[in-house]
Amino acid sequence: MSNKRTELKVSAIRNGTVIDHIPADNTFQVLKMLNLDESNRQIYFGTNLDSKKFGKKGIIKISGKFFEEEEISKIALVAPSATLIEIKDYDVSKKESVRLPETVEKIVKCFNPKCVTNIQHIPTKFTVTQDHKGNMKLACHYCEKTMGEKHIEFL
């Protein structure tokens, strides 16, 4: 196998999705959150790559995978700057920035251990808001507590 061919294999997928512009610090978090570490699909990723826009970025390419709305919400929570590029037959068929949803349901755990959703296993629901510094916050629909990005834990 020649070097050239290996390089080609890493850089291009025939069908699937590329998640680009992930903040470099969160590349592994995105992989884990989408359970890509346990997937049987062909996955290529790089992190700490140079980016004009972000300084350092991560990129993930997943063969044969197209994301559902719920998974895109998840990506937006940990990588709000990410771009999703869908590839069909080596061509870009769709390219869009992820967008934070207004509400996040059933995918994130409330960080408050006394919250009813943690004690009685009730589906969670959060409103996406911002604090006065513009940081993303999730406000629990039930216990009304607000948590920041560092407390986000996926169910």
Partner 1 sequence: MSKLKGKSLVSITDYSKDDILRILDTAEEFEANQRQNILNGYVIASLFFEPSTRTRLSFESAVQYLGGSIIGFASADTSSVKKGETLKDTILTVSNYSDLIIMRNPMDGSARYASEVSPVPIINAGDGANQHPTQCLLDLYSIRKTQSTLDNIDIAMIGDLKYGRTVHSLVQALSLFGAKFHFVSPDSLKMPSSVKTWVKNAGLEYHQYTELTDVIPIADILYMTRIQGERFPDPLEYEKVKNSYILENAMLENSKDNMKVLHPLPRVNEITEDVDDNPKAYYFQQAKNGVYIRQALIATILGLK
Residues of this chain that interact with partner 1 (CB under 8 A) are 110, 112, 114-117, 119-120, 122, 131-132, 140-146
Interacting partner of 146 out of Zn ion, partner 1, none (Cβ under 5 to 8 A depending on kind): partner 1
Task: Give bridge partners of residue 138 from the DSSP assignment.
Answer: 128, 147
Task: Rank residues 73 and 117 by Cβ distance to partner 1 and give the closer one.
Answer: 117
Rounded least distance, CB 67 to Zn ion, Å: 27
Residue 60: both structure tokens together: 């993930």
Rounded least distance, CB 152 to partner 1, Å: 17
Residues 6 or more apart whose Cβ sits within 8 Å of residue 74: 33, 34, 107, 154
41 vs 97: CA distance, rounded Å: 23
Amino acid code (one letter) for 91: D
Rg (CA), the chain: 17
152 vs 146: CA distance, rounded Å: 11
Scan residues 62-121 and list those touching Zn ion (CB under 5 A): 110, 112, 115
Interacting partner of 120 out of Zn ion, partner 1, none (Cβ under 5 to 8 A depending on kind): partner 1
Size of the residue set binding Zn ion (CB under 5 A): 6
Contact residues toward Zn ion (CB under 5 A) are 110, 112, 115, 140, 142-143
